[in-house]
Amino acid sequence: MSGLRDRMNRLRGTSAATGAADTAISSPEEAVKRLEPEAEAVSTAETEEEEKLHPGWQPIGVKLHRNEEGTFLLRQIRYPLEYRHGTHRLNELAAAASGLSAFHGEPVEPEQLLFLDLETTGLGIGAGNVPFMVGIAYMQHGQFIVEQALIRHPAEERAMLAYIESKLPAYRYLVTYNGRTFDWPVMQNRFIMNGRGRRTWEPLHLDFLHPSRSIWKNTLTSCKLSHVEEERLGIERVDDVPGSLAPQLYFQYLAEGDPEPLEGVFRHNEIDVLSLACLAIRFGHLLHSDEEQGAFGILPLPSEPEEQVRTGLWLEKMGLPDRAEALFALVLDTESAAISALLMLAARDKKAGNWQRAVLLWQKAVEHPYTYGSSAIAAYIELAMFYEHKLKDYVSALQYTTEALELALGNPLLQRRDAKKRAELDGLRNRKERLQRKAGRMHG
């Protein structure tokens, strides 16, 4: 921590001023539209101090901000609600927000949502990890406002935290991506270390990493926000600075004093909070209780059977069984549904005691044109157990077990000489021997 503090203290300054910059943004029609902030009275002394800022801050749209704790840097961007970010317009949040009540069972208004994303000096949540940039966003007066606070040295952290803390009481919900285990604990630690207390604000948390994993765990290469954006939200980042490089660029700024390397960090953080708003829209639509405005009338249905099942299972968990059944029906009507999707749906039916459909799904899996691998073996074994234990049909159970064993022995990928694979093969052999004895007694 001392090394970090030394590096940050190199550029400790004394200048201060008030205000936040508005940066021009493109409308959906590619026309440049600037929404001017309310006029603020700026004293001559403050203007003179503001001019002491490095000229490199001007093109980024950053100004000094002063409060009772000191100064820090602040950037503000105001988006019209008609602005499109990927497949969604920001004004969709008004209709989608009520669907988010499924998370906590309380009504949600879009103006109650505070979106948060941090850029930090490290990856942990301990005392040595400092959020050098705090990005927040919210809806207000017909605009979607993004604010980004940045500290140039440790002495500015108290002023930044005081500003963020002053914003919190106006919002009931905190919206993040992995913020339950990272962003919010980091902020709470910084509040404590700066004498502001942990329980300054106790929001209802909407962490969209968890539903993203529930739905897209196996259908996306990764559930990182950047992958979800590109593959499911239609958001394409151009010349984006990876979040992993943000600390390095910040330290470069501290060493050289030139703000230019941070321009990409500001833009990366800005896109992050805009994407959080789009995820709120996406999940809000999925969870909307009004069928006329529900997900299936607004959003494209998942095209992959496994994603259909995972989405249905998540909707069922969130209290929307009818909508889940609509997705499950799509899987049943799909001739080439992936075996993994069939097995997930069959496991759900097995747990619910719906054996008739579970057996139908297992049979569909073993008849799949691409029947191979551990998933297919699992389907054969489930059928063997059903016939053995439920129907006491040992002959049919033996048939399914024999086919599972032949499939395992015929696939070199399933014959790796590790303990787990040996145990699986031994289990199949033992099952076959037991069923042979039972079948023999039936016909003896």
pLDDT of 107-155, one tens digit each? 999 999 999 999 999 877 777 789 999 999 999 999 999 999 999 999 9
The predicted pLDDT at position 13 comes to 43
pLDDT band at residue 274 using 50, 70 and 90 as cut-offs: very high
Residues 414 and 269 in one domain: no
- Chain-centroid distance, C-alpha 244: 17
pLDDT digits (tens, 9 = 90+) for 184-239: 999 999 999 998 876 778 999 999 999 999 999 888 989 999 999 999 999 999 88
Predicted confidence (pLDDT) at residue 302 exceeds the cutoff of 90: no
Residue 42: CA count within 13 A, CB half-sphere: 18
Does residue 298 lie in a domain region?
A: no
**Contacts of 322 by beta carbon, 8 Å cutoff, 6+ apart:** none
Q: Is beta strand 131-140 parallel, antiparallel or unpaired with respect to 84-85?
A: unpaired
Does residue 197 lie in a domain region?
A: yes
Question: What share of the chain in percent tops pLDDT 90?
Answer: 58
- H or E segment at 13? none
Residue range 166-191: average pLDDT?
A: 95
Predicted confidence (pLDDT) at residue 39 exceeds the cutoff of 50: no
What one-letter code names the amino acid at 95? A
Confirm if 373 and 411 have CB atoms less than 8 A apart.
yes
Q: C-alpha angle 315/316/320, rounded to 5°?
A: 70
Residue range 30-43: average pLDDT?
A: 35
Residue range 327-339: average pLDDT?
A: 79
Confirm if 183 and 123 have CB atoms less than 8 A apart.
no
Domain endpoint, select from 293, 324, 350: 293
The predicted pLDDT at position 306 comes to 86
Alpha helices by DSSP H, 23-86? 44-50
Number of structural domains the chain divides into: 2
The predicted pLDDT at position 334 comes to 74
Residue showing tokens 């509040």: 191
The predicted pLDDT at position 42 comes to 37
Cross-strand bridge partners of residue 116: 136
What one-letter code names the amino acid at 191? F
pLDDT digits (tens, 9 = 90+) for 363-377: 988 887 655 567 788
Q: C-alpha angle 297/301/306, rounded to 5°?
A: 155
The predicted pLDDT at position 296 comes to 52
Q: Is beta strand 88-89 parallel, antiparallel or unpaired with respect to 84-85?
A: antiparallel
Predicted confidence (pLDDT) at residue 177 exceeds the cutoff of 80: yes
Residues 326 and 410 in one domain: yes
Q: Which domain holds residue 359?
A: 305-442
The predicted pLDDT at position 10 comes to 47
Residues 333 and 211 in one domain: no
The predicted pLDDT at position 176 comes to 98
pLDDT digits (tens, 9 = 90+) for 63-85: 999 999 999 999 999 999 999 99
CATH, residue 417 = 1.25.40.10
Local structure of residue 390 (DSSP, 8 states): I
Does residue 50 lie in a domain region?
A: yes
The predicted pLDDT at position 112 comes to 97
Local structure of residue 82 (DSSP, 8 states): T
CATH, residue 276 = 3.30.420.10
Residues 265 and 387 in one domain: no
Residues 165 and 277 in one domain: yes
Does residue 249 lie in a domain region?
A: yes
Q: Is beta strand 173-176 parallel, antiparallel or unpaired with respect to 62-67?
A: unpaired
Residue range 287-314: average pLDDT?
A: 71
Domain endpoint, select from 229, 260, 293: 293
Among 24-38, 87-101, 151-165, the range scoring the smallest mean pLDDT is 24-38
Residues 419 and 332 in one domain: yes
Query: Mean pLDDT over all residues of the chain?
Result: 84
Does residue 349 lie in a domain region?
A: yes
E strands along 81-190, which residues? Answer: 84-85, 88-89, 113-120, 131-140, 143-150, 173-176
Torsion angle in degrees (nearest 10) through CA of 54, 55, 58, 63: 30
Torsion angle in degrees (nearest 10) through CA of 311, 316, 319, 321: 110
The predicted pLDDT at position 416 comes to 61
The predicted pLDDT at position 81 comes to 97
Predicted confidence (pLDDT) at residue 5 exceeds the cutoff of 80: no
Cross-strand bridge partners of residue 149: 74, 134
Residues 141 and 169 in one domain: yes
Residues 195 and 262 in one domain: yes
E strands along 111-214, which residues? Answer: 113-120, 131-140, 143-150, 173-176, 204-207
Q: What is the largest CA-CA distance in the chain?
A: 106
Does residue 300 lie in a domain region?
A: no
Cross-strand bridge partners of residue 140: 143
Pair of tokens at residue 85:
């970010």
Residues 288 and 201 in one domain: yes
Q: Give how far Cα 40 sits from Cα of 19, 48, 60, 167, 273, Å.
A: 8, 16, 20, 19, 26
Confirm if 111 and 138 have CB atoms less than 8 A apart.
yes
Phi and psi based region of residue 319 (left: phi greater than 0; alpha: psi -120 to 50; beta: remaining): left
Residues 44 and 95 in one domain: yes
Does residue 363 lie in a domain region?
A: yes
Does residue 299 lie in a domain region?
A: no
pLDDT band at residue 330 using 50, 70 and 90 as cut-offs: confident
Pair of tokens at residue 188:
């709470």
Residues 288 and 322 in one domain: no
The predicted pLDDT at position 163 comes to 97
The predicted pLDDT at position 235 comes to 94
Residues 19 and 133 in one domain: yes
Task: Tell me the C-alpha distance between 265 and 269, whole Å.
Answer: 6
pLDDT digits (tens, 9 = 90+) for 367-424: 876 555 677 888 999 999 999 999 999 999 999 999 999 888 876 665 566 677 778 8
N-terminal to C-terminal alpha carbon distance within the chain? 79
Question: What share of the chain in percent tops pLDDT 70?
Answer: 80
pTM for the full predicted model? 0.81
Domain endpoint, select from 233, 263, 293: 293
